[in-house]
Amino acid sequence: MKKLKYIVTGTGRCGTVFMARFLTSLGIPCGHESIFYSDGLDMAVQRLTGHMPIRLSNVSKADAKNDLWLENLNNIEADSSYMAAPYLNQECLRESVVIHVVRHPVRVVNSFCNYINYFENPTPKDGYEANIYNHLPLLKEEMPTYDRAALYYVMWNEMIEEALLNRGFFFHRIEDNKQELLEFLDCQPTNGVFNNTKVNTFKKPGASFQIDHISNKDLKKRFVDMGRRYGYNMSSEYLLI
């Protein structure tokens, strides 16, 4: 079975495409949802064992010239995927070093709700949402869209944090300077590294999410507290969109 040296994971809409391209440019071949896709653990294991083909996600190829940013998928040493989060303690990832990537919670919720129309109702619309809801069944209850997305942000990150207890990992805010990450990876590149932070960015929609749109007060507090714990400005007047 292929052993991944690194697994990058987070909530989605948090920079996993960027991280795949960034690690690859450092000489650490990293796929995006190449092993962990929306079809669950069994299929991921099939890819790791060579019984299913490894591929790049469509979104990670959208801005790539001729789709050649990662030429030999069989040589990958890492996978960057928010779909890996529920499986961090599985045997296939026990030896992998985890990079937990986060992005400002307001931006994540806004991107999910207003760019790709996730979390609109208790019935998931595609395989990604179905996988999310299967692991967080509380999202199947009736609640406003922004509440469901905020609850997802909190619970998905909590799931990652719980899996990483007593385990070596690196926590990285996607907005931060990459020097500490380079030191953690023991990489001091002499050539240029991938630095297009706009990769996989969609056209700005008309609607925008604000913290005060969360109707459940307890959830709003959990959302704000997590953002502050991650080092973000979460004052209600602070708008990022």
**Cβ neighbour number for residue 197 with a 10 Å cutoff:** 11
- Category of 27 on φ-ψ map: left (φ > 0), alpha (ψ -120 to 50) or beta: left
Angstrom distance (rounded) from CA 52 to CA 64: 24
Angstrom distance (rounded) from CA 155 to CA 141: 14
Task: Give residue 71's pLDDT.
Answer: 84
Please report the domains of the chain, with CATH numbers, ordered by start residue: 6-193+204-229 (3.40.50)
Binned at pLDDT 50, 70 and 90, residue 81 comes out as: very high
Angstrom distance (rounded) from CA 40 to CA 236: 37
Above pLDDT 90, what percent of the chain?
Answer: 79
Task: Give residue 210's pLDDT.
Answer: 93
- Element of type H or E holding 173: strand 169-173
Binned at pLDDT 50, 70 and 90, residue 241 comes out as: very low
- Name residue 102's amino acid: V
Average pLDDT rounded to a whole number, residues 156-167: 96
Max Cα–Cα distance, the chain, nearest Å:
52
pLDDT in tens, 20-75: 999 999 999 999 999 999 999 999 999 999 999 999 998 888 876 655 678 899 99
Global pTM value: 0.95
